[in-house]
Structure 1
Amino acid sequence: MYLATTGRRPDAPPRPAGVGRRIPGTVVALGAVSLVTDVSSEMVTAVLPLYLVLGLGLSPLQFGFLDGLFNGATALVRLLGGRLADRGSGRHRTVAGAGYLLSALSRLGLLMAGGAAGGIAAALAADRLGKGVRTAPRDAMIMLSAPPETLGRAFGVHRAMDTTGALLGPLVAFVVLWATADAYDAVFVVSFATGLLGVVVLGLFVPADPSAPPPRAASTRPVPSPVPAAGPKAAPGPNAGPGLTGPNAAPGPTGTAARPTADPAFRRVVAAAALLGAATVGDSFLYLLLQRGLDLSAALFPLLPLGAAACYLLLAVPAGRIADRAGRRIPFLLGHGALLAAYLTLLAPSGLPAAVLVLVLLGVFYAATDGVLMALAAPALPAAGRASGLAVLQTGQALARLVGAAGFGAAWTWWGPRPALVAAALALATALTAAWRILPGRKARR
């Protein structure tokens, strides 16, 4: 099912060894783990806005703070997870597994919290701690196992499988709520069991040490006998030493491996992602706005994310392939343009066509930005420090989204939803203009 094919010229040189058209098995296995885990997490995400705002009576400001916590208050843990994963062979899976397990256990925290706001906040923090620990090691395993020229496709396949879980999660939540007469506790129990299944899949099917970086091109000439060559030792070539980055870089002194943020291009990617993240409204707010505009019942609310997830599922792999061929900067920016269009659509008269358009645009946004951002940053990160570098990137984006979610919640509480959305649209348009100038150009596309 997940075969990535691209056309090749008849006169194209032979492919290097290890570079084929099939997506690596590690990527598919990690996609299966993410699929199962997302069924678990999206079951909770789908019902959480109603549970907190309508069930427990939280204000939009309080919900904005918790939503920001749910999506971004784990900066130090992300950095720690990336550091731990980079410190030894085979640690990526161990660190990621600990994160998956913690997220699964957080569902029990929601179950035991009852209506206590402190218990709910602690459970949400535990879930985000788990996600913060696992995300960078998981994405680093994808980078280490896929050829660099197909990273967009590899991330697209992974995100497509991940989004399949996001598509199924709200459906499962809807069925559970329908079968139990809106019993949120039942949703948390099923989510916990599904999360544990994801941990089991990780242990059984993901290798402890991801595939080594693609080997160098195989030579067709006979291999000479291992007789020492006479004469002085050859000088290192122009690509030798710690200055070479990428999957084929030879291990050497610390250099950029110890400081993955040393590359100016990577710092610009982090700055642009953080700037755009600060102008991003949390999905839960968008779904609440749609629910108000359509006057949906509580039982139907979990179905809203399905439209965005379906669009994301359909477009994740094509977006990755386009990014591999045409460059990753433009799709990333256009994805945020789609999000801006979603904000503007929500400001228009509400109705079913407008709601469908918002969900489609939200799916386009994630398809063009999520995995593409990781692939955009890859060329500036050494193989030995990719988990740490990705943790820095994801932390900057997560903290920015925490600020954006809390700010939008405060604006909604003080001004009302419509003025708050106008302010968010203006902020995103400004951030897009700045990011266009900040992001590296075509040199960073591979």
Structure 2
Amino acid sequence: MYLSANRAADTARGVPRPAAGPAVAGNVLVLGAVSLVTDVSAEMVTAVLPLYLVVGLGMSPLAFGALDGLYQGATALLRLAGGHVADRTERHKLVAGVGYALSAVCKLGLLAVSTPWAVAAVLTADRTGKGLRTAPRDALISLSAPPEGQGRAFGVHRAMDTAGALLGPLVAFGVLWFAHDAYDAVFTVSFCAAAFAVLLLALFVRDVRTRPPRSPAPPGGRGPGSVFRDRGVRRIALTAALLGVFTVGDSFVYLLLQRRLELPAAAFPLLPVATAAGFLLLAVPLGRLADRAGRGRVFLAGHAALVAAYLLLLSPLGGAVPAVLVLFLLGSFYAATDGVLMAAAGPLLPARLRASGMAVVQTAQALARFAGALLFGAGWTYAGPGAALAGAAIGLTLSLAAAGMLGKGALR
């Protein structure tokens, strides 16, 4: 695995280096605001979804595992399409905007369906929007920041994004409380927030050109496959996939905690709040630490925190304190891995392939998590939640050891 920063890579590969200016570029801050509002919308739905499907609509754990995997990874190939189109046209903002708009429309779609697999179809369309927008958005963040500040830029963006993740469940809780468990009210408010995020993107985000006007495209491929010529990118994608297979979806963690604590339905949306709080608190510090100490070390440490969360869930310890600690460790995992992974990949990629390369890494991780969700759902159904979680903990521990060996001598 090669996840350490290469500060000279952008200059060597002909990437335009942003001029000296504010510690964090305005484009990064606006994209953070767009993600904040979008995550309020998305997490309102995500916070109520497990209970709505498993308890409200009677979906089995195996079926929910399939849906959770679909939600995480079935549209992964669209990340490649979104990244390729954004690089090809140099219209990162437009491609991202289409993705944000599609997800907003899907929030209205949830009002029109009432069966588990109809909900699954709408959620797949929603993930299509996320698949289209993620790589172009992350490319804009990377292109707006200097090589040595990639971790900080992604840390600030992810912190703002996570502020939305923190607010979303609270808004869902408030809507359910005042609307007396009316899920339609949650979906309506979610749509309004998503539509506002699209407006912010359209008015304030600016594209970053990857070559001077009227300059011909550089020779060589521009498609996603060409990024595999770089050994470091291949290692990043392989490592993300290896660890992603044993990353249990948040929804399963929340269902396990809900059973342990016997929480009422109205309180279920509060479970993601502690996760978001940990992410929000640590995103910027861990991003800056990754820039200084090595993005690979921070990335692996985040997965170690996830193993600790699994072991705590498997322990006989009861009460609210262990449950809050599990959620905080989950937030720490995201703070140490989500933006750090993109910060590691960015400097390895030329500007003309930035979105495509990031999409390759994201797709490898998403497909692995899709497979992992199916495996975990099947394990829960046929062997019980404890056995499934123990298998995930063992698998992730072994994958961490393999990732460490793969990156031996490359981590700085």
- Verify the 8 A CA contact 1:47 1:301 in the aligned structure 2: yes
Q: In 1, distance between residues paired with 2:351 and 2:18?
A: 19
List per-residue Cα deviations over 1:218-244 (Å, max 9, x = no partner). Answer: xxxxxxxxxxxxxxxxxxxxxxxxxxx
1:295 has 2:262 as partner: yes
- Verify the 8 A CA contact 2:223 2:356 in the aligned structure 1: no
In structure 2, stretches of 5+ residues that fail to align are 1-16
Identity %: 63
List per-residue Cα deviations over 1:232-276 (Å, max 9, x = no partner). Answer: xxxxxxxxxxxxxxxxxx973225787122101110110000010
Q: In 2, distance between residues paired with 1:401 and 1:332?
A: 16
Corresponding residue number in structure 2 for 1:136: 135
C-alpha distance 260-45 of structure 1, shift in aligned 2 (>3 A):
same
State the 4+ residue runs in structure 1 displaced beyond 4 angstroms.
255-258, 440-443
1:406 has 2:386 as partner: no
Question: Aligned with 1:346: secondary structure?
Answer: helix
Shift of 1:118: 2.7
Q: In 2, distance between residues paired with 1:128 and 1:79?
A: 14
Corresponding residue number in structure 1 for 2:100: 100
- Verify the 8 A CA contact 1:329 1:441 in the aligned structure 2: no
Opposite residue 140 of structure 2, the aligned amino acid is M
Q: CA RMSD in A?
A: 1.8
- Verify the 8 A CA contact 2:210 2:352 in the aligned structure 1: no
Of 374-383 and 251-260, the range deviating more from structure 2: 251-260
Alignment TM-score, normalising by the size of structure 2 = 0.92
Shift of 1:409: 0.6
Q: In 2, distance between residues paired with 1:133 and 1:344?
A: 35
Question: Matches of residues 37-436 of structure 1 in structure 2 within 5 Å?
Answer: 37-89=38-90, 91-114=91-114, 116-207=115-206, 209-210=207-208, 252-254=218-220, 259-349=226-316, 350-436=318-404
- Verify the 8 A CA contact 2:99 2:133 in the aligned structure 1: yes
- Higher share of residues assigned helix: 2
Shift of 1:388: 0.6
Q: In 2, distance between residues paired with 1:151 and 1:39?
A: 25
C-alpha distance 182-325 of structure 1, shift in aligned 2 (>3 A):
same
Which structure is richer in relative contact order (CA contacts within 8 A, separation 6 or more)? Answer: 2
Opposite residue 318 of structure 1, the aligned amino acid is P
Opposite residue 297 of structure 1, the aligned amino acid is P
- Verify the 8 A CA contact 1:256 1:262 in the aligned structure 2: no
Q: In 1, distance between residues paired with 2:374 and 2:77?
A: 19
Q: In 1, distance between residues paired with 2:395 and 2:189?
A: 39
Opposite residue 150 of structure 1, the aligned amino acid is G
Question: Aligned with 2:19: secondary structure?
Answer: coil
Q: In 2, distance between residues paired with 1:17 and 1:366?
A: 27
Larger radius of gyration: 1
- Verify the 8 A CA contact 1:374 1:390 in the aligned structure 2: yes
Q: In 1, distance between residues paired with 2:409 and 2:22?
A: 27
Question: Aligned with 2:265: secondary structure?
Answer: coil
Shift of 1:77: 1.0
Opposite residue 37 of structure 1, the aligned amino acid is T
Of 103-112 and 363-372, the range deviating more from structure 2: 103-112
In structure 1, stretches of 5+ residues that fail to align are 1-15, 216-249
Q: In 2, distance between residues paired with 1:298 and 1:328?
A: 39
Alignment TM-score, normalising by the size of structure 1 = 0.85
C-alpha distance 267-138 of structure 1, shift in aligned 2 (>3 A):
same
List per-residue Cα deviations over 1:145-176 (Å, max 9, x = no partner). Answer: 10010000000000000000000000000000
Shift of 1:21: 4.8
- Verify the 8 A CA contact 2:84 2:223 in the aligned structure 1: no
**Aligned residue pairs: how many?**
391
Question: Aligned with 1:300: secondary structure?
Answer: helix
Corresponding residue number in structure 1 for 2:4: none
Of 269-278 and 251-260, the range deviating more from structure 2: 251-260
Shift of 1:436: 1.1
Q: In 1, distance between residues paired with 2:329 and 2:300?
A: 14
Q: In 1, distance between residues paired with 2:263 and 2:182?
A: 18
- Verify the 8 A CA contact 2:59 2:116 in the aligned structure 1: no
Shift of 1:439: 3.6
Q: In 2, distance between residues paired with 1:329 and 1:118?
A: 39
- Verify the 8 A CA contact 2:88 2:222 in the aligned structure 1: no
Opposite residue 121 of structure 2, the aligned amino acid is A
